[in-house]
Structure 1
Amino acid sequence: MKANSYILTLFGLAMLLLTACDQPKDTQTGNEADLQESSNALQTNGPVEPQASTARQIPGGTEAARVSARSLLDNVAANNDLSTFSSLLRTASVAKSLSGTGPYTVFAPTEAAFQALPDSLRENLNSPDHRELLQQVLNNHIIAGKLTTSDLQDGAILKTAAGRQLKVTKHKSNVRIDSAVIEDPDGMSSNGVLHTIDKVLVPVEETIL
C-alpha cells in the first residue's frame, strides 16, 4: 500500500513538471508590457521631428542678423522697392562707394518716389547723356557717417556726398529729410545705415532740367 502511495506521489510531481513546461514563456511584468506597447506605438508613428532652433523661433531674429551683416549696396539690391535706386547706383558708378568700409548713411527713394518725378527729369536720369546729373542726384542721398533716427536731431543740417545740404525736421516719430519722409528707418548694414524715403532728393537747380 505504501508503495502505491509513493508511486502516485511521483506521478503527481511528474505531471506538475510537465504542466509547468507547457506554459508560454511570457514573463513580462505589467510595467514591462506597457513600455513595449509604447515603443511599438512610436515606431508605428514614425520618427519624432527635431525641434526648431531657438533662432528660428524668434520672429525676424535670423533675418535681422543676416541683413545687418550685408553691405549697404547689397541691402539696397535686396529690397524690391528700391530697384530703381539700385539700378541707377550701378549705372552712375556710385555703387562701389557703398561697398566700402564707410560708414555711410543712405536715404534711399522708393519706386513710388521715382515715379512721382516729372517725366523729363526721370528721362534725363536714365539718359547716358546726363551721367553727371545722375551722379549729383544720387550722391545727394549719401551722408558720411552712421546716423540712425535717434542721431538725427530736429533742425540739424546734413552735408551730402554731392556737397549739398539737407535739413532734418523731427516731430516725435516723424522724421523728414528736406521734404522727404523717412518711411522705413534704421536698416542696419555692415558699413552703415539705410533709411527708405518717399521722395527723391533733387537739388532745386536740377529740377528745371
Structure 2
Amino acid sequence: MNTDNSISKEIFKDLSFSNEENGIINAVFFKEILRKGDQLIKTGDNVDVQYYVIEGCLRSYHIDAQGREFTVQFAIKDWWMSDYTAFFSSSKAIMNIEAIQDSVVYKITDLDKEFLYSNIPKIESFFRKKLERAFSAFQKRILSELSLTAKERYINFLKSYPDIEKSIKNYHIASFLGITTESLSRIRKEL
C-alpha cells in the first residue's frame, strides 16, 4: 500500500491519518496540471467534481443571456472550487470555470468524496466546516455588493486576494466587483 501522505498533508493540513487512510486519500484525488485558459467546467456540463487549488488561480463565472460575464469567485492556493449549484443538485452547470493562470489542482468526484466520508469520518467534518465558511463568505459578498461602495469592495478584494491582482486581467477583477474597467481604473488612481 502507498503510504505517501503528501496529498493529505497538502489538503487536510490539520488532520493526521494512518497509513491505510493515506492510501485511501491518495486513491481518490487526482492531480491535474492546467494551462492558462483551460476550461474545467462549461455551462450545461454535468458536474460531479470539485477542485482543490495547489498553485495558480481559477475563476468561476456566469454568462447571461446578453453575453455579459459575471465573475463569481477566484480560487487561489488552498481554495476549493466547483459549480456548487450543479454539484449539489445534480443539475446542469450554470457556471464556467477556467484556469486564469497556469495551475495545479487536485480533483475529486462526488462519489469518491462520499467514499471518503464513509471510510474516514473526520474528513466529512472537515468538508462540513469548509462549506460553512464558504457559505458565510458568500453571504458577506452578497451583503457587500448591496451595501458597500465600489471602492470599499475593491479594498476587500485586495485583502481577500492579496497576490493575484497583478497576474489577472482587469476586466476579471471589474466583473468580480460588479463595475466597469473604467471605474476600476478610477478607484486605483484614488488609492
When the two structures are superposed, what TM-score results if normalisation uses the length of structure 1?
A: 0.22
Rg larger in 1 or in 2?
A: 1
